[in-house]
Amino acid sequence: MESLWLPFTYPQGHVIRLKDVARVVREYSEPDSYITNNGTKCLVLSMEMREGNNIVQMGEDVNKVLEEYEKELPDDVSIFRITDQSQVVGDSVTTFLRELLIAIIAVIIVVMLLMPLRVASVAASTIPITIFLSLLVFYACGLELNTVTLAALIATLGMIADNSIVIIDCCMEKLDSGIDRWTAAIESAKEFFKSILSATLAISITFFPFLITSQGMINDFLQSFPWAITIILFLSLLVAVLLVPYIQYHFIHTGFRKQPKKEKKQRRSFLTILQSSYDKLIVKCFAHPIRTMGVGLLSIVAGVVIFLSLPMKLMPFAERNQFAVEIYMPFGTALEQTAAVADSLESILRQDSRVVSVASFKGDGSPRFHTSYAPQMPGSNYAQFIVNTIGNKATEEMIAEYKDKYLNYFPNVRVRFKQLEYSEAAYLVRNGIIMLDYADELREKEGLTVREAALHSAKRRMRPIFLTSAAASMGVIPMILGGSPLWSPMGSVVFFGTIVSMVLTVTILPVAYWLIFSRADRKSINH
């Protein structure tokens, strides 16, 4: 503290110094906001990536610069990262890549177990081929490889093998009927091209309303999802109709019905047992059409009731090892009072063993570090914490434990604990189109009645529908087990939706087709 001497002399000789009438001191002005990290005052440096760059690579570059810069700092000055989005994204992508690999292996194993080895090898080979082609098209179209596009790959993984399985199954049926391998390979692709094209278009279209109905951050988040789905499905279609016929011609020589070399009874396969059991079931469904349709209607009602009873949220919480705390004091409260309350709450939080660090912003909010989290405008009556924990589970536990306990803990103070957040009928469509298209073909080309066509189509298409549904449901299991609040629910919907839609497709749909078009049978009889 220094005093300044500035003399003033009257003509009479009197000297008046500034110290006689005032006190001048050199000091810092009273701050209207300040920041601490674990109780120590600090400066915050915020960096934002330019559009079009790789955030993971940016994080690596920043780390290199900071390591060199830290060497030049005094011993009593250190650098602490409050949040690192590049690490969050990197961990997320790594997790998805691991889940994608597990999903690929799971789908291949299911196909291998349910189908003969040569047949399964042909179907399984289309999965990595389609994935690599999809990645190339993503790159060519400028689609980033992120959690959204990786989720699209996992969600459609089972669908990738669907088209190939259907065509291979048809080829083996033709081989069983005595058609040569070349003709069977070509005709199987021709026969199903129309139906699988229609199914692919129908599934792809269902995801595009996201682009219209969603706005703001959610639209930005989901923008690439329908395009990724469409690219993957159409590439799988091209692989199925162009590449699979050539591969199956060289590797598949016989159909499902093999002639035994000796008189010994062959062991029945799982698919054979399943087909036999299903044939008996579908006959009973056709024998009791009213009961069958009643079960179908009850399933719809049950689905609606369950849907309405489930808790709904547009976007889930983010999977992060940090959360935010916001402190609101009455308007006009001095910063010192706000800081006193903030320091008390910070002291409570730092005593929790699950807390790694607490970054405190008094009178102001943090820079934006999460897409959907916009901090409060600055004010002397406001404080904010960014609390880093030991893990995602610890974050969830602390939010549940603290949010109600400290909501009104301090008089005339409101405290908010905020977890960061992100603000499928496809298989039924595909399988239904394949089954009903075959029923129409039987009526037109072979002159079967509606009932005969529906029953025969159900029996014939049960096997490929089961195989594709099994592959699809297994493909999303890693997504479910991953536990992501965003993608795990989606995986569960796809898994259970696929199973339920398969059951409804092979039991209710054929009977419904018969009842709806039964007039065609009566008209043909009258004529």
* Chain segment 417-428, per-residue pLDDT in tens: 887 765 444 445
Of the residues 418, 437, 461, the one at which a domain ends: 418
Comparing CA positions, the residue from 243, 228, 56 lying closest to residue 135 is 228
Indicate whether 183 and 307 sit together in one domain: yes
> Residue 107 is part of a domain; what is its CATH number?
1.20.1640.10
At 268 the pLDDT is 61
Indicate whether 393 and 463 sit together in one domain: no
**How does strand 15-16 pair with strand 34-37?**
unpaired
**In the predicted model, what is the mean pLDDT of residues 473-499?**
67
**Residue 232 forms part of a structural domain:** yes
**In the predicted model, what is the mean pLDDT of residues 76-104?**
72
CA–CA distance, 290 with 298 (Å, rounded to integer): 12
Helix/strand/coil for 280: helix
Indicate whether 302 and 188 sit together in one domain: yes
3-state secondary structure 440-487: HHHHHHCCCCHHHHHHHHHHHHHHHHHHHHHHHHHHCHHHHHCCCCCH
Indicate whether 196 and 301 sit together in one domain: yes
With a cut of 70, say whether residue 388 has pLDDT above it: yes
**In the predicted model, what is the mean pLDDT of residues 98-117?**
72
At 33 the pLDDT is 80
CA–CA distance, 305 with 127 (Å, rounded to integer): 37
Which tokens is 173 given?
Answer: 């049926």
Domain count, the chain: 2
Comparing CA positions, the residue from 97, 123, 92 lying closest to residue 108 is 123
Look over the chain and give the mean of its residue pLDDT values, rounded to a whole number: 76
**Residue 61 forms part of a structural domain:** no
pTM (two decimals):
0.58
Residue 380's domain comprises 322-418
Reported as a pLDDT band with limits 50, 70 and 90, residue 130 is confident
3-state secondary structure 346-395: HHHHHCCCCEEEEEEEECCCCCCCECCECCCCCCCCEEEEEEEECCHHHH
CA–CA distance, 147 with 499 (Å, rounded to integer): 25
Indicate whether 412 and 433 sit together in one domain: no
**In the predicted model, what is the mean pLDDT of residues 36-40?**
82
Indicate whether 195 and 336 sit together in one domain: no
Indicate whether 309 and 339 sit together in one domain: no
At 517 the pLDDT is 79
**Residue 72 forms part of a structural domain:** no
* Chain segment 46-69, per-residue pLDDT in tens: 777 776 667 777 778 888 888 888
Distances 439 to 72, 304, 334, 457, 510 between C-alpha atoms, Å: 77, 30, 78, 5, 9
Reported as a pLDDT band with limits 50, 70 and 90, residue 216 is low
| Cα dihedral across residues 435, 441, 446, 450: positive or negative | positive
Indicate whether 397 and 299 sit together in one domain: no
Which tokens is 199 given?
Answer: 């199914």
Question: 316 with 485: CB under 8 angstroms?
Answer: yes
Of the residues 373, 402, 418, the one at which a domain ends: 418
Residue 18 is classified by DSSP as: G
What b/e sequence results for 143-180 when a residue is b if at least 16 CB atoms lie within 10 Å of its CB, and e otherwise? bebbbbbbbbbbbbbbbbbbbbbbbbbbbbbbbeeebe
* Chain segment 313-371, per-residue pLDDT in tens: 544 455 677 888 888 888 888 888 888 988 899 898 989 899 888 888 888 877 766 65
Residue 242 is classified by DSSP as: I
Indicate whether 371 and 389 sit together in one domain: yes
Distances 512 to 285, 289, 448 between C-alpha atoms, Å: 10, 8, 17
Lowest-confidence pick of 92-101, 299-308, 501-510: 92-101
Task: Work out the angle between the directed axes of helices 270-287 and 450-475 (0-180°, nearest 10).
Answer: 130
At 276 the pLDDT is 82
* Chain segment 494-516, per-residue pLDDT in tens: 677 777 777 878 888 888 888 88
Of the residues 374, 398, 418, the one at which a domain ends: 418
* Chain segment 235-276, per-residue pLDDT in tens: 988 998 888 888 888 888 777 665 444 444 455 667 677 778
Indicate whether 161 and 307 sit together in one domain: yes
Q: What percent of the chain has pLDDT over 90?
A: 2
**In the predicted model, what is the mean pLDDT of residues 89-110?**
71
